Structure 1
């Protein structure tokens, strides 16, 4: 599909970076009345004239007012605005961007422009004000729209569709053909029953699941990277964490109980599979059940010849001692994790440079005895020895932690 890479670094406006992309979308407020850096200006203009696409959106027309080359590239410049609710008029219904498009009503800033070029094709007007236009410069295509101040506009599917059309037109026929050849899936809705936390009411409709192959087409990866399918349903279900052993095998933590089906006694329906590629084709073809009857495991880390894993209120140690790749040791290292809110428990197990295991905890917190010492804490980073003999709380964080990384210093 359309893969996006986000940056706020203007130094990325150089040909070594720009040439890695089919198009550049600019949305930001930079140096409203100042000139653009000469080297960055030259790089952007030459990129477009050599065939690159350029899509300045909304406030991009207010940038670099001291740069005639930039204003010309956009096709005009922001002058002033008020605000209101309006619907624009499509004045070029046969243009590829507008063909079959009906527009939408939205609140937005009512931009007025000046320093307009004469080589623009106007696509939409707000009253008599040019609102959306296209132009060509050298071999490249430029699309501009004044839409887009905040989420009252950005949340609208019709605005997404306008941008999608603009991107596909501006990148040119060769790139469009590649996108068409992917045969992207159509996203459909279906009836379902899910807990709704945001509005505190049951969700009754959601996206119909895609097959792994179709879902892969919509995955986003950094520019220059590729993505391929290693394992999927029915071999693994609801993966929540992955860690790799010294043989390159993936230990995949799967949970069907998270977040709403916490089972009593830390004995649940969750499991860990070893996923192995035995023929070197980059896909798992051997699946071994390493451990099961787990309760909402959220993270795992290798230590002492086995696997330390979270399991409900416990931190446990799993180990295979007879070589069949199935854990026959299941030892509780310590206990005390509160499971009152399963979203806010322990996670992010990491083997530290100091041979301690580091982890994070959310607001559900911990209260228990480790190594003969009482501990009580929540919302922070802690560490413990791999044998569970000692634990230290290190520092608080602001909320439930999404990730944890360490360096040698």
Structure 2
């Protein structure tokens, strides 16, 4: 399949505090700039009503959502059979809290962000990987996600908690960016990106752009 025929589905919804519509618009433009044909749908019902197998990439932007109809099985089956999935922050890593099979596919689940929006360091751990190549460690101001993560993830970046806000996690090294496979499908996740304005951060934007392309097989 040629690059110009690549198709992406963006599904937004869930908690409004993460600006899902605004973030979906930013992601849509990133993909259009890469010559994707992009379809944007509101609401998790799209996973049930759309033919997910026709896409190269699915980008959910849904925090604390609920699957409807057969949406869960259709999404998981599509990825397992080769459709890529990519996402960021709560839009992928804090979606569908009641669906453990979804969390099994993504490779992690948000549980806390001590201190709320704070300044922290993102450390690149696999600089040879094309998704993060040429990007040095950087400072980032947002929610520092504390997550339950799958040890099989291929971790590309981490952050270390200082214990300033919750002393008992002092020194904990937490994955920030990872990639993995679910069946034949590629899964990419970055915990960076609380709201649309964070896409103005060059490192965040570039890592996510490259991660989406990787997930889509590009």
Q: Work out whether the TM-score is over 0.5.
A: yes
Task: Quote the RMSD (CA, aligned, Å).
Answer: 1.9
Q: Does 1:45 align with 2:76?
A: yes
Provide the residue aligned with 2:39 in structure 1. Answer: 5
Residues 212-262 of structure 1 show CA distances to partners (whole Å, capped at 9, x for unaligned) of xxxxxxxxxxxxxxxxxxxxxxxxxxxxxxxxxxxxxxxxxxxxxxxxxxx
Partner of 1:71: 103
SS in 2 for 1:5: strand
Q: Is the 8 A contact 1:134 1:141 kept in 2?
A: yes
Corresponding residue number in structure 2 for 1:144: 189
Deviates more, 1:142-151 or 1:94-103: 94-103
Within a 5 Å distance, the mapping from 1:243-258 to structure 2 comes to: none
In structure 2, relative to structure 1, the CA distance for the partners of 1:157 and 1:43 (3 Å cut) is same
Q: Map Cα deviations across residues 346-388 of structure 1 (whole Å, 9 max, x no partner).
A: xxxxxxxxxxxxxxxxxxxxxxxxxxxxxxxxxxxxxxxxxxx
Of 104-113 and 93-102, more deviation after overlay is shown by 93-102
1:147-201 CA-partner distances (Å, limit 9, x unpaired): 00124422223322112210121111xxx3xxxxxxxxxxxxxxxxxxxxxxxxx
Q: Secondary structure at the match of 1:130?
A: strand
The runs of at least 4 aligned residues of structure 1 exceeding 6 Å deviation read none
Look up the match of 1:119. Answer: 152
SS at match of 1:123: strand
SS at structure 1 position matched to 2:192? coil
Give distance in 1, aligned partners of 2:204 and 2:83. Answer: 23
What is the aligned counterpart of 1:157 among 202, 206, 215? 202
- Quick check: which one's helix share is greater? 2
Q: Which has the higher contact order (CA 8 A, sep 6+)?
A: 2
Distance in 2 (alpha carbons) for counterparts of 1:73 and 1:56: 12
TM normalised by structure 1 equals 0.39
- The Cα of 1:2 is off from its aligned counterpart by 4.1
SS in structure 2 of the partner of residue 10 of structure 1: coil
The alpha-carbon distance between structure 1 residues 157 and 169, as it changes in their structure 2 partners (threshold 3 A), is same
Structure 2 CA distance for aligned equivalents of residues 113 and 2 of structure 1: 33
Question: 2 CA distance for matches of 1:83 and 1:100?
Answer: 27
Corresponding residue to 2:211 among 148, 166, 183: 166
CA distance in 2, matches of 1:72, 1:129: 18
| TM-superposition CA deviations, 1:1-42 (whole Å, max 9, x none) | 2433322221211484322321011222233xx6x3461111
Distance in 2 of aligned mates of 1:121 and 1:107? 24
How many residue pairs were aligned?
169
Q: Could you tell me which of 109, 115, 122 is aligned with 1:88?
A: 122
Partners of 1:58 and 1:74 in 2: CA distance = 12
SS in 1 for 2:51: helix
Deviation, 1:50, is: 0.8
> CA separation in 2, counterparts of 1:79 and 1:93?
27
The alpha-carbon distance between structure 1 residues 11 and 120, as it changes in their structure 2 partners (threshold 3 A), is: same
Residue 51 and residue 89 in structure 1: after superposition, are their counterparts in 2 closer, same or farther (change >3 A)? Answer: same
Q: C-alpha offsets along residues 102-152 of structure 1, whole Å, 9 cap, x if unaligned?
A: 3543211111112x2222111111111111111101111100111001244
In structure 2, C-alpha distance between the alignment counterparts of 1:64 and 1:8, rounded to whole Å: 16
The question of 1:105 aligning with 2:139 is answered: yes
Task: Give the match for residue 133 of structure 1.
Answer: 178
Query: Unmatched 5+ residue regions in structure 1?
Result: 177-409
